[in-house]
Amino acid sequence: MQIDKSPSAIEHALTLAILRGQHPVGTRLPTVRELAELHGVNPTTIQRVVSRLETRGLVTARQGSGLRVNDPSECGDISLVPYWLEATLDDPARARGILDELLEVRRVLAVRLMLRHREAILGRSAALHDAAESLVAARALGTDALRDADLRFARELLRATGNVVALSVFNTVARVLSTLPVVAEAMYAQPSENAAGMLGVLRALSGGAADAGEVIEALLAETDARTLSRFEALLRAHHKEEGVSA
């Protein structure tokens, strides 16, 4: 099998190595020339990789002092979340914790935005109902179709709020779902549950009750809790299978 030596592949490998602590915070990465030899590429390719790692906040390049590894928790941004999840898949409890944090941020942000933009969202209720129903219809088409149907629902909500920060969180979740199939498998194991949650949110919004925020929070939290339980169970089952096969 041919090894991918593209800048993106090398960046991916180095990012995971840093997040896994293989290059501890405060230490220095090998030199550009050493990294080029290690990965079988020219120094120009590594320079491009280093620039990307600097942009992510993972390293600081200083003339004469090499590539210093930074603390990802202090210097990284939301673009690191998919990498954090991937880097911890061999530790189901920790991976669950990171996914829990991401879903909580999404949930809290979603509740606040839905209450603030209730009228605008209800103005799109027909499209949102269609998106919820398409999730159940996509069940026979596989996980990718389920993911796409769910993301359509989220996009409809975001179009109503016009919040660009929420969009960045949405894009992060979308990237996690597209790059880590195990997350999508856990999230869409029961499409009817997801659809019921979506429709429940719309009912809570349209009802106009004072406790709509609490109702929506409870609905989303219940859906996320099921996702987290399945996610951890899938990881543990995978590791058990690997242990048997090894």
Same domain, residue pair 107 and 37: no
* Final residue in a domain of this structure, among 76, 91, 116: 76
Rounded distance between C-alpha atoms, residue 79 and residue 72, angstroms: 11
Is residue 57 domain-shared with residue 166, that is, in the same domain? no
Identify whether residues 92 and 208 lie together within a single domain.
yes
Q: Helices 164-179 and 143-161 meet at what angle, rounded to 10? A: 180
Same domain, 147 and 224: yes
Last residue of a domain, one of 76, 103, 129: 76
57 and 104 together in one domain: no
* 99-124 pLDDT tens trace: 999 999 999 999 999 999 999 988 98
CATH number for the domain that contains residue 25: 1.10.10.10
60 pairs with which residues across the strands?
A: 68
**Domain range for 215:** 79-245
Q: Give how far Cα 180 sits from Cα of 15, 134, 202, Å.
A: 16, 22, 29
Could you tell me the pTM of the whole model?
0.88
**26-40, 69-83, 135-149: segment of lowest average pLDDT:** 135-149
Closest CA to 57 of 44, 42, 67: 67
| Structural domain contains residue 2 | no
In degrees and rounded to multiples of 5, residue 10 shows phi and psi of: -70, -40
Is residue 116 located within the same domain as residue 27? Answer: no
Spatial separation of the C-alpha atoms in residues 154 and 151, rounded to whole Å = 5
Both tokens of 176, joined, read 């996690």
User: pLDDT tens for residues 123-145?
Assistant: 988 888 888 888 888 888 888 88
Cα 142 to Cα 210: distance, rounded to the nearest angstrom: 38
Tell me if 1 is assigned to some domain.
Answer: no
- Of 24, 52, 76, which residue is a domain's last? 76
Contacts of 155 (CB under 8 A, 6+ apart): 170
Tokens 């779902």, located at residue: 177
Q: Count up the domains in the chain and report the number.
A: 2
Domain match, 47 and 83 both: no
